[in-house]
Each structure stands twice: as C-alpha cells, then as structure tokens.
Amino acid sequence: MTDLSLEREFNIPADRLFDWISSKAKVLQWFGPEGMNVPDSELDFSRTGPWYAVMANDSVKVKVSGHVTHVDPPRSVGFTWGWHDDDGTRGAESHVTMSVVPTQSGARLLLDHRDLDDSEQSASHERGWISSFNKMASVIK
C-alpha cells in the first residue's frame, strides 16, 4: 500500500518542535492543506483520546477523525486516521506517527502515515485497486 514517510528539518529545539505538533493551539495553525480552513476540530495531540478535524473550502467539506494512541514528549505522538464519507461513515483506518529527533542545528520531524493491515481480504482488494490505478495513470497521461 501507499505508506508515506516525510522528513523536515527545523531550527528550533526538540521540545519546542514537539509543542508545535502536539498542542491544540499550535496544531490548528498548520493542520490541513493551504486554502482549507478548519471550522470545527478537536486537535489535541498532547493526550491520548479521540480527535477529529473538519476541513473546508468553498467547494469541499471533509472530516477526518481518529484516536490518539500514544504521547511520548518530547519524542513522538501517534494517532489513528480515518476519512469520513459524506453520510458520516468512517472509511479505512490508517495510522500516523510524528517523531521528533534532536539534531545539531535543531530538530528533525519524521512523519509516517501507514495503513493498518486488518485482513488478507482487504490487502488483496487493495492490490486490485493499485493495478487499476496504474492503468489509470497511463490512461490519464
């Protein structure tokens, strides 16, 4: 599946970077793509428990929610992630981990977004989708 890993370097100490990725007031300042606002949310990654965010622009409104599964300051936070359908049904669950590693000049943020492997059936279903997407990509070009 499409596991995603991203890295960013920051010139601030690890504990301050951790604050930026966990405290509600700070997370609200950056969570979500440019041009989307977050009219409704519970984005507290500084404690375990449920979280959600509603993101919207002029044409789209989407909700994502999950559960904060671990908080280990100033090192890492982990939470589950699932998009909601328009009728509120929550889709397949994935897992996000944000880790902070001190560096000489500040700290590095590692972001991992992985799918939860819940059954062989869903895995084979996904393989089917992926082969179709590959074809789609060649059609779209």
Partner 1 sequence: MNPLTTAFSALSDSTRFGIVEQLMDQGETLAGDLVAGTGMSGPAISRHLKVLRDAGLVSSRAAGTKRYYSVHSDGLRAIADWTLSRRTFWETSLDRLEAAILLDEDAHE
Binding flags for partner 1, 58-87, as an x/- string (CB under 8 A)? --x------------------------xxx
Helix (H) or strand (E) holding 67: strand 61-72
Residue 92: CB minimum distance to partner 1, A: 12
Q: What HEC string does 72-91 produce? A: ECCCEEEEEEEEECCCCCEC
Q: Is there a contact between 56 and 28 (Cβ–Cβ < 8 Å)?
A: no
Torsion of CA 38, 1, 129, 31, to 10 degrees: 10
Nearer to partner 1, 86 or 120 (CB): 86
Residues between 9 and 48 that touch partner 1 (CB under 8 A): 10-12, 17, 20-21, 26, 29-34
Residue 71: CB minimum distance to partner 1, A: 18
Q: How many CA atoms lie within 13 A of 38 on its CB side?
A: 17
139 binds partner 1 (CB under 8 A): yes
Which residues of this protein are in contact with partner 1, per CB under 8 A? Answer: 2, 4, 6, 8, 10-12, 17, 20-21, 26, 29-34, 60, 85-87, 109, 111, 113, 132-133, 135-137, 139-140
